[in-house]
Structure 1
């Protein structure tokens, strides 16, 4: 793994949780490789590094929306699915045939209609924007 995004993803722990990143927040590369091999899926670099950095950090993995655990990732409709909202109205994914793209574009599916909409941002952009929105907008509105 080239660690293109790992440090930026690790930096989300002190940014939003006000504590240092710890190794236990992530999932080892070996464990990820084993899961992806068993599932027979190819996962883009940005998603792999996100899970490596934060896959066990429940506070971020389940911050408003729910990132799927590595063993829950699945291919459906030509997309690699990785996230859903709490009411399961929407699911997010990336085109499965772009698994070799380091940081592919994210798409959102309306689960009622099956329609996919381009989120017009890469996975890393989507993650940083979503968590910024959750921690600065949603959670402050609940105070």
Structure 2
């Protein structure tokens, strides 16, 4: 998949401004594992975009952290859930996203791979409407 093309297409379709973060890989904190290609490329294409913190908060590369066997990359706007990637899946270019219910400390697989999850999340924030992963295919 051509991630820059995918992200630009969907962000423009949704009507979001795109602001790049070309130094995303250099901003990772020491000891943070390499990011999956879908997440690193998103940061490089749109990491400084306002949507990243307008509702749910996509963490900056330097704020990503490991907990309970997951790499946490996003917080829900009220702190009810966090989203992460299983550490064992970091080698995959576009892994499944997992959601943690912070009250139960239980993890659940989302119905989206990382690239589609990001676009679905921003789509929901803009339109209040959930779309299946298939909607976000090019």
Q: TM-score normalised to the size of structure 2?
A: 0.83
| Larger relative helix fraction | 1
Counterpart-to-counterpart distance in 1, 2:16 and 2:21: 20
Paired residue total: 129
Relative to structure 1, the CA distance from residue 52 to residue 105 in structure 2 (aligned partners, 3 Å threshold; closer, same or farther) is same
Match of 2:53 in 1: 62
- Backbone CA RMSD of aligned residues: 2.0
Q: Tell me the SS of whatever aligns to 1:38.
A: coil
Moved over 2 A (4+): 10-19, 35-40
Which residues of structure 2 form unaligned runs of 5+? 130-138
Task: Indicate whether 1:112 and 2:106 are aligned.
Answer: no
1:111 to partner: Cα distance: 0.8
Residue 124 of structure 1 pairs with residue 115 of structure 2: yes
**Partners of 1:87 and 1:53 in 2: CA distance:** 26
Instruction: State the Cα distance separating 1:87 from its structure 2 match.
Output: 1.3
Larger radius of gyration: 1
